Homo-oligomer: A and B are copies of this chain.
Amino acid sequence: MTASKVTTMREAVAELVRDGDTVAIEGFTHLICFAAGHEIIRQRRRDLTLCRLTPDVIYDQMVAAGVARKLVFSWLGNPGVGSLHAVRRRVERADPEPLELEEYSHFGMVCRYVAGAARLPFFPLRSYEASDLPRANPRIVPVRSPYGDEVVYAVPPLKPDVAIVHAQRADAEGNAQLWGILGCQREAAFAAERVIVVCEELVDSEVIRRDPNRTAIPGLLVSAVVVEPRGCHPSYAQGYYDRDNRFYLEWDRISRDPERLQAWLEEWVYGLASHAEYVEKLGPERWKELEPGEAWSDPVNYGRYA
């Protein structure tokens, strides 16, 4: 019914991600769209405020490439490995320049997206009492329950200019289905001004319509649909490829040395025209290692009611 929104990553980023934007590339370990992060680096965006619960290696790369001036986050690290060295250099030694931090807890970040998606002026939660976090971040404030004296804390809504969500499959309108770890992609998408859906597979709307309960994001929200198979590497897409833990370990070594890091960016980002080239450069053997076996869900019957 609606016209196709399918475009290339280059087009989508060029048109929808602007200097100074607040950008959320969400995904809790799973479905992190590295391909989008790399394209943003390639197009040399500047002064971005990057939001994520877990900045992860993708934001370390973006921070090292100089696209970001600020992080809004709740856990800063290389999951299962250690530190984000580029981020630490900027935070600990302003090397090469300072990086502003706006820090919450995981649940605080999730509640910020929910408040943004629901157009609430604040969201209440039970975290933060007796923690130094509200002192470090004055946006975390106490709020008194209108029923009696109980005090909880509040976080403000987060409404990114752009949310980039990677899905296993989507149709041309951007109706997207995800499975496996869901993180808070849906909330981030509903909260955002503009949404880019990136998918492993572009499917006919009929595939989506055969399982409407699995649809996380309605095309209604979506400005562009990018078909980018393997676009999450070294993160993963459940059922499509495995997390490349080897790369997360390699990144620890690469990122400790600023020159080696820049060389990596040259070779793997600036030096390539697209994620397709990245996939090819990574090579078939590596992809073979990351290929999972099969574990299919059972179909469910929605029933024909005519």
Chain A interface residues toward B at CB < 8 A: 119-126, 141-143, 145-148, 150, 152, 154, 156, 168, 177, 179-180, 182, 207, 210-211, 213-214, 238-240, 242, 292-306
Contact = CB atoms under 8 A, between A and B. Distances in A.
Nearest to A182: B213
Contact of A302 (B121, B146, B180, B301): B180
Contacts of A148: 121
B296 A297 contact: no
- State the main secondary structure of chain A at its contact with B: loop
Given A121-B145, A146-B142, A299 B301 contact: no
Most chain B CB within 10 A, of A147, A180, A300, is at A300
A210 B298 contact: yes
Nearest to A115: B124
Nearest to A139: B147
Contacts of A299: 296-299
Given A122-B145, A124-B124, A295-B303, 19 more contacts: A119-B126, A120-B152, A121-B145, A121-B147, A141-B146, A147-B156, A177-B300, A207-B298, A210-B295, A210-B296, A214-B214, A239-B300, A292-B303, A292-B304, A292-B305, A293-B305, A296-B300, A296-B301, A296-B302
A203 to B, nearest CB: 9
Copies in the complex: 2
Contacts of A213: 179-180, 182, 214
Contacts of A240: 301, 303
B122 A124 contact: yes
A239 B295 contact: no
Contacts of A211: 297-298
Contacts of A126: 119-120
A30 to B, nearest CB: 12
Nearest to A124: B120
5 residue pairs, one from A and one from B, having the closest CB atoms? A293-B304, A292-B303, A211-B297, A121-B145, A239-B301
Contacts of A182: 213
A230 to B, nearest CB: 14
Nearest to A153: B146
Contact of A239 (B146, B152, B238, B302): B302
Contacts of A119: 126
A207 B210 CA distance: 19
Contacts of A304: 292-295
Contacts of A293: 303-306
